[in-house]
Every structure is written in C-alpha cells, then in structure tokens.
C-alpha cells in the first residue's frame, strides 16, 4: 500500500472512530448538565463515557492500521483505559469547586495533570506496540502533541453554550468540535502510524498478527 493510500485510510478511519466516540461523552455530559446532576454522579458517568469514546477511537485506529497489524482486543482495552484516565483528570477542575486554577500553587499540578492527560492514551497503546516492533516509543510524544492540538477544538463551543442551551444545539456544537478534533489528531498521527505498521509487518510475526482477529 502506498503512503498516500495508507494515510487516507488512517485519517478516514480514525476521524470516524473518534468523532463517533466523542458523541458518547458529549451526549452524556449534555444530558447531565441539563438535569443538574450532582458531581458524585457526573464524575464516574463521564469517565465511563470517556472509556467508550476510547474504545471507538481504538477500533478506528485498528481499521486504520490494517487488519492484523495490532491485536484488536489488547488495542481496544489499552485505548479505552487511556481515555478513561484522560477523562478522570480532565474532569477534576470542574468537579471540585475548591480547585483554584489561578492560584500559583496549582500551576505545577495543572501542568503535571495536562501532561498525564495527553500521554495517557498513547502510553498505554505503546505498551502494546513495544511487544510488536522496536522503536515505537515515538508514538507517545507524537500522539500527545496531536491531542494537544486537537483538544483545543473542544473549547470552541464553551463561550456560546450553557445550561440554558437546548440539547440539540448543544450536541450539534460539540459534534462539530469533535469531528474537527478527530480529524486533527488523525492527520497529525498518520505518518507515525504508517511507520509503525511497516515495522510490525517487517518483523514478520504472523502469530501475533493472527491473534488480532
């Protein structure tokens, strides 16, 4: 497969997987906000919704890599778990009202939390990749950087929506943001994904690839 064909498949599959996945937490979060659900309900619900997002993202990446390149079950578990970790960190500032963002004392915690959030998915995915090929560590910083760029799209609707926004409009805003985020992440990770796919195929481990079915 040519580089262009691989990247087209990767971008389409990953964009679709993440865009559909983001619908889950966007829908759950919108409904919880409109119902004024307490934090004790919102926090675990959003983590679970985030895990489903990760599973759909992982499946999109599995398709983007090509069949039998990565073990499907392990990849979906790693991506779902990484997404759950990311959401558990991302939800902290809004969940705990005494979390003082402007405080200088909070800055190191914010930086550490942001780094862990961005690296959570690719780090757990790397634990799968490292058993399939060498020189896959680059997957972590490349994906973390892609997520840092892509996640900015999810901040765009915030000034225009609030608890009074009707649910269809609220959902539509975040659907558009989710698609743009997904496309950004997919586009920025396509080259690294092709390099890793070629490395795994070059290793010639048919037993490992067959187990992905």
Task: Please choose, from the candidates 51, 66, 49, the residue with its C-alpha nearest in 3D space to the C-alpha of residue 14.
Answer: 66
C-alpha to C-alpha distance for 185 and 43, rounded to whole angstroms: 25
Give 111-115's long-range contacts (Cβ < 8 A, gap of 24+). 113/89, 115/144
pLDDT beyond 50 at 97 = yes
pLDDT per position as a tens digit, 71-82: 999 999 999 999
Q: Residue 206 has what pLDDT?
A: 39
DSSP 70: S
Lowest pLDDT segment from 12-26, 72-86, 105-119: 105-119
Contact (CB, 8 A) for 78 and 111: no
Q: Residue 160 has what pLDDT?
A: 78
pLDDT per position as a tens digit, 50-89: 999 999 999 999 999 998 899 999 999 999 999 999 999 9
C-alpha to C-alpha distance for 149 and 143, rounded to whole angstroms: 10
Please tell me the pTM assigned to this model. 0.86
What is the DSSP annotation of 113-167?
HHHHHHHHHHHHHHHHHTTT-SS-TTHHHHHHHHHHHHGGGGGTTGGG--TTS-H
Q: Residue 113 has what pLDDT?
A: 87
What is the DSSP annotation of 91-127?
THHHH-TT--TT-GGGHHHHHHHHHHHHHHHHHHHHH
Report the interhelical angle of 107-129 vs 139-150 (nearest 10°). 130
């Amino acid at each position: 497969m040519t580089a262009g064909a691989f990247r087209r498949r990767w971008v389409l599959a990953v964009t679709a997987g993440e865009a559909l996945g983001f619908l889950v937490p966007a829908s759950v979060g919108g409904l919880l906000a409109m119902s004024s659900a307490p934090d004790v309900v919102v926090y675990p619900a959003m983590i679970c919704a985030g895990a489903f997002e990760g599973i759909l993202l992982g499946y999109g990446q599995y398709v983007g890599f090509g069949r039998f390149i990565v073990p499907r079950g392990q990849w979906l578990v790693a991506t779902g778990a990484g997404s759950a970790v990311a959401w558990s960190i991302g939800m902290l500032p809004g969940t705990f009202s005494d979390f003082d963002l402007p405080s200088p004392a909070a800055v190191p915690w914010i930086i550490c939390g942001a780094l862990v959030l961005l690296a959570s998915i690719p780090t757990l995915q790397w634990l799968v990749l490292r058993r399939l090929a060498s020189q896959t560590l680059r997957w972590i910083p490349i994906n973390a950087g892609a997520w840092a760029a892509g996640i900015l799209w999810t901040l765009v609707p915030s000034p225009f929506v609030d608890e009074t926004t009707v649910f269809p409009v609220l959902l539509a805003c975040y659907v558009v943001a989710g698609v743009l985020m997904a496309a950004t992440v997919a586009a920025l990770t396509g080259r690294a994904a092709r390099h890793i796919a070629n490395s795994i195929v070059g290793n010639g481990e048919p037993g490992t690839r067959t187990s992905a079915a």
